Amino acid sequence: MAGPFPPSPEVAASAALRTVQDLLHEGHAVEVMSPLPSAADHHGPLAGVKGAIGLARRARSFDVLHLQVSRGLLFRPEQSQARRVLDSALLALSLRLWRRTIADVGDMSDVPGGGGGLSGRFIWAAIDEILVSSEPVRNHVTAVMHMPPGRVRVKPGPRPAAVRARFPPPADLPRWQAQGPVDWASLTAQVQERAAAERARLQGDPNGDVEPD
């Protein structure tokens, strides 16, 4: 999974969390990478040249790449048109290295320009399946983004609790993966703890104990 992740307040982060939980309940092994420090397993650039390189490096380690599309993940409207086209072409090359790619675009509100244009054509041609929130959005994707109807699917709603209970996750998962965050304060504390450990590592102490100045 690549995309924003809690405690980010973005709608896409909540959607990513629900998808990861569903996948874990189905028995899949999932790792999450977010563009900013979060409760995800990893963080790093997911756009531009650095994002393309980062995704390409991980392509051989996983069966599927699931992109939770958010503003700035695939397209950066603040860049010049030439730079956007170049970035999209490089990202498309990296996506083609994966065995399978799925992009959840939701209601398309986070896709600049409705997904059309030259940049969009590079990206969508490299994606195997697009998930959308409704049938009208599916119609838009097939008409404007020129995706074959067989590669666009309306994403089902959240599973009822009774259904989720029939697919218990592994017992050793972190609590947010098994049950979802009990509260954002707890999740934020986890992120802060991870960030502190990362700072300690960068300062040269592998045990996490930083010597005072």
The yes-or-no verdict on residue 174 having pLDDT over 70 is no
Angle, vertex CA 140, rays to CA 33 and CA 56, nearest 5: 25
* Average pLDDT taken over every residue of the chain: 79
**What integer is the mean pLDDT of 170-177?**
50
One domain for residues 54 and 154: yes
Residues 96, 153 share a domain? yes
Q: Residue 6: inside a domain, yes or no?
A: no
In this structure, are 209 and 169 located in the same domain? Answer: no
Looking at residue 2, what DSSP letter applies?
Answer: B
What are the tens digits of pLDDT across the range 51-102? 999 999 999 999 999 999 987 777 776 777 788 888 889 999 999 999 999 9
**In sequence order, what DSSP letters do the residues of 135-157 get, joined into one string?**
HHHHHHHHHHS---GGGEEEPP-
Residues 81 and 124 in one domain: yes
Q: Tokens standing for 65?
A: 């790449």
Please give the pLDDT value at position 153.
94
Would 178 be classed as within a structural domain?
A: no
- In this structure, the answer to whether residues 210 and 105 fall within a common structural domain is no
For the chain, the domain total comes to: 2
Instruction: Answer yes or no: do 132 and 104 share one domain.
Output: yes
Domain span at 124: 11-173
Same domain, 169 and 200: no
Residue 96 sits in the same domain as residue 192: no
Segment 148-156 shows an average pLDDT of 92
pLDDT for 134 equals: 92
Tokens matching residue 199 = 């700072």
Query: Is 186 or 83 the better-scoring residue by pLDDT?
Result: 83
By the 8 A CB rule, do 175 and 187 touch? no
